[in-house]
Amino acid sequence: MHWLDAVRWNDDGLVVAIAQDWQTGKVLMQAWMNREALTLTVQEQRGIYWSRSRGKLWRKGESSGHVQELKELRLDCDGDSILLLVEQLGGMACHTGRESCYFNRLHQGEWVAEEPVLKDPAAIYGNSGETNIE
């Protein structure tokens, strides 16, 4: 079987993709891939996703320069979730200028933004409009 056929795509032809820093183990973000995005991720050895909101391929870092270099690709036991171990160039995955998108921690019934903003999003993206918001 071709390795792409081991993936259980959902009804929209997508699979969950989780990006994790290959050295620190920090979970950076979660997005989605279609067959083309996954194929290109492996071919180009970088994180390439399917943006649901924009309805097109999203080469992570195409505007920000914050490319995710692929170190390892993993598939879960039932084939519907993919884990990318990556080197996150620029040290930030989130469009808010933080290292990780998971910066809201539940504390006493409220979400508290915990991680520092490393760079002003306006400085990251200029007027390009690329964000992590799918």
Residues at the interface with a second copy (CB under 8 A): 3, 6, 16, 18, 20, 24-27, 29-30, 42, 72-78, 81, 83, 94-96, 98, 101-106, 109-111, 132-134
Provide the minimum distance between the beta carbon of 16 and a second copy in the complex, in angstroms, as a whole number: 6
CB nearer to a second copy: give 75 or 89. 75
φ, ψ (nearest 5 deg) of residue 126? 55, -130
Instruction: Establish whether 94 is an annotated binding residue.
Output: yes
The secondary structure element, H or E, covering residue 110 is strand 110-113
Minimum gap (Å) between residue 36 Cβ and a second copy:
16
Q: How far is the CB of 79 from a second copy (least distance, A)?
A: 8
Residue 67: both structure tokens together = 């490319």
Consult the annotation and say whether 76 binds a ligand.
yes
Distance of closest approach, residue 55 Cβ to a second copy, in angstroms? 16
C-beta closer to a second copy: residue 78 or 123: 78
Three-state SS at 105: strand
DSSP structure string for 9-59 = --TTS-EEEEEEETTT--EEEEEEE-HHHHHHHHHHTB-EEEETTTTEEEE
Name which of 30 and 59 has its Cβ closer to a second copy.
30
SS3 71: strand
Are 22 and 87 a contacting pair, CB within 8 Å? Answer: yes
Q: Is 11 annotated as a binding residue?
A: no
Q: Which residues are annotated as a binding site for Mg(2+)?
A: 76, 78, 80
Q: Which residues are annotated as a binding site for Zn(2+)?
A: 77, 94, 101
